[in-house]
Chains A and B, each alone.
Chain A
Amino acid sequence: LAKTTQPISMDSYEGQEVNITCSHNNIATNDYITWYQQFPSQGPRFIIQGYKTKVTNEVASLFIPADRKSSTLSLPRVSLSDTAVYYCLVGNQGGKLIFGQGTELSVKP
Chain B
Amino acid sequence: DSGVTQTPKHLITATGQRVTLRCSPRSGDLSVYWYQQSLDQGLQFLIQYYNGEERAKGNILERFSAQQFPDLHSELNLSSLELGDSALYFCASSVDRTGLDTQYFGPGTRLTVL
Check A99 against B2 for contact (C-beta < 8 Å): no
Give B56-100 interface residues, CB cut-off 8 Å to A: 56-58, 90, 92, 98-100
Q: Which residues of B contact A34 (CB under 8 A)?
A: 100
- A54, CB-defined interface residue at 8 Å: no
Q: If A95-B99, A96-B56 touch, does A43 touch B106 (CB 8 Å cutoff)?
A: yes
Q: State which of B2, B45, B103 has its C-beta within 8 Å of the C-beta of A98.
A: B45
In the docked arrangement, what's the CA distance between A94 and B2, Å? 25
The docked-state distance in angstroms from the alpha carbon of A98 to that of B42 is: 10
Q: Kindly list chain B residues whose C-beta atoms are within 8 Å of the C-beta of A91.
A: 99-100
State the interface size on chain B (CB cutoff 8 A).
24
Judging by beta carbons under 8 Å apart, are A43 and B58 in contact? no
Are A99 and B107 CB-contacts (below 8 A) given A43-B90, A92-B100, A94-B56?
Answer: no
Are B98 and A44 in contact, with the CB atoms below 8 A?
no
How long is the Cα–Cα vector from A108 to B70 in the complex, in angstroms? 48
A46 with B103: in contact, given A97-B45, A99-B45, A101-B42 (CB under 8 Å)? yes
Contacts of A96 in B (CB 8 A): 45, 56, 58, 99
A94: B residues at CB distance < 8 A: 56
From A98, which residue of chain B is reached at the shortest CB distance? B45
1/0 contact string of A67-109 vs chain B (CB within 8 Å)? 0000000000000000000010001111111111110000000
Q: Which of B56, B90, B104 contacts A95 (CB 8 A)?
A: B56
Chain A interface (Cβ < 8 Å from any Cβ of B): 32, 34, 41-46, 49, 87, 91-102
**Extra pairs beyond A46-B102, A49-B102 (4, CB < 8 Å):** A32-B100, A87-B43, A97-B48, A100-B42
